[in-house]
Amino acid sequence: MHLLVLILGFMLFPKGYAMKCYKCTGAAVPCKKEECPGKCAAATVMYEGGKNMTMKSCMEDKMCATGSMNVGSRRAYAMCCSDAPLCNNMYPSIPENPQPNGKKCYTCTGNDCSEMKELTCSGDEDRCMSGYAVTGSQGKLMKVMGCAESSMCMSNINMGVMEVREATCCDGDLCNNGGPGIAVSLLLLVAPVVSVALFN
């Protein structure tokens, strides 16, 4: 009888998550703490003109990656961790002067990606990527192309202030030219609160 009560207790009570992560967007201080079934994440997105956006949160394992991505007008640095509770207490390190690594990829110019220009990759960004960024509260998709670290080459990536869907990467120079077979998803997913700031 005691065994039956114990089994029913495990089945009926909500599952507790051992992991806790910080959660905040932008200049929200202090960050809140939340139970997390996945990994802790932190990201910084840098925009042309010197504007930055930051985020800390919990992310699904399959959508969480550590590395950098550059789509021309925006560069994102993201990190995921699960080694300790509240491990996303810091933002990913950002090099002061990222050094070009010799690789070149295409990036979009304009919201509809009707034109492309060459983009010089830097640091560990050794892949060309192409995909669709989620923009606005309606979830509209906008094509993006650029450079990415191989660790960021997942089908879908959510960085809180950036989300990429249906992404594919290639490793040749200028290989992300939008030809047949390229389905890219390293999109900047802008949270509804941040979307206006990111794409206006």
pLDDT at 178: 66
The percent helix, strand, coil of the chain (3-state, each to 5) is: 10, 45, 45
pLDDT at 69: 92
Which residue is associated with the tokens 């065994």?
3
For residue range 85-110, what is the model confidence (pLDDT) as tens digits? 999 999 998 888 889 999 999 999 87
Contact 40, 80 (CB under 8 A): yes
- Element containing residue 3 per DSSP (H, E): helix 2-12
Amino acid at 105: C
Superfamily grouping for domain 17-93+101-199 = CD59 (2.10.60.10)
For residue range 11-21, what is the model confidence (pLDDT) as tens digits? 433 445 568 99
Beta bridge partners of 19: 36
Q: How far is the C-alpha of 112 from the C-alpha of 132, rounded, in Å?
A: 11
pLDDT at 32: 93
pLDDT at 122: 95
> φ and ψ at 94, to 5 degrees?
-120, 120
Please identify every stretch of the chain with a pLDDT value under 50, giving residue numbers as ranges. 1-15, 179-200
